[in-house]
Amino acid sequence: MTRYALTVEFDGRPYMGWQRQSHGPSVQQAIEDAIHAVTGERTIVHAAGRTDAGVHGLAMRAHADIAKDLAPFRLMGAINARLRPHPVAILACDPVADDWHARFSCLGRAYVYRIANRRAPLTFEKGLTWQVIQPLDADAMHDAAQLLVGLHDFTTFRSAHCQSQSPVKTLDLLNVERAGDRIAIHAAARSFLHHQVRSMVGCLAMVGMGRWTADDLRAALEARNRAALGLNAPSDGLYFLRADYPGDGYEK
Whether residue 2 is predicted with pLDDT greater than 50 in this model: the reply is yes
Which CATH number is correct for 2-96, 3.40.50.300, 3.40.640.10, 3.30.70.580, 3.30.470.20? 3.30.70.580
**Of residues 11, 33, 52, 139, which has the active-site annotation?**
52
Q: CA 26 → CA 15, 98, 121, 190, 196, distances in Å? A: 5, 26, 28, 24, 21
pLDDT of residue 250: 52
Whether residue 67 is predicted with pLDDT greater than 70 in this model: the reply is yes
Residue 56 burial class via C-beta count within 10 angstroms: exposed 0-12, middle 13-18, buried 19 and up = buried
pLDDT confidence band for 165 (50 / 70 / 90): confident
- Region 199-222: mean pLDDT is 97
Whether residue 201 is predicted with pLDDT greater than 70 in this model: the reply is yes
Whether residue 203 is predicted with pLDDT greater than 60 in this model: the reply is yes
pLDDT of residue 8: 98
- The CATH class for the domain spanning 108-244 reads alpha beta
Residues 202, 187 contacting (CB under 8 angstroms):
no
52 is catalytic: yes
At 114-147, the pLDDT tens digits run 999 999 999 999 999 999 999 999 999 999 999 9
Whether residue 251 is predicted with pLDDT greater than 90 in this model: the reply is no
At 94-110, the pLDDT tens digits run 999 999 999 999 999 99
CA distance 53 to 26: 9
Domain ranges of the chain: 2-96, 108-244
CA distance 250 to 233: 28
Whether residue 161 is predicted with pLDDT greater than 90 in this model: the reply is no
At 10-46, the pLDDT tens digits run 999 999 999 998 889 999 999 999 999 999 999 999 9
Whether residue 181 is predicted with pLDDT greater than 80 in this model: the reply is yes
pLDDT confidence band for 182 (50 / 70 / 90): very high
pLDDT confidence band for 252 (50 / 70 / 90): very low
**Which three-class secondary structure state does DSSP give residue 230?**
coil
pLDDT of residue 249: 61
In whole numbers, what is the pLDDT of the chain averaged over residues?
A: 95
- H/E run at residue 141: helix 138-145
Number of H helices, E strands in the chain: 5, 10
Q: Please indicate whether the domains covering 2-96 and 108-244 agree at the CATH topology level.
A: yes
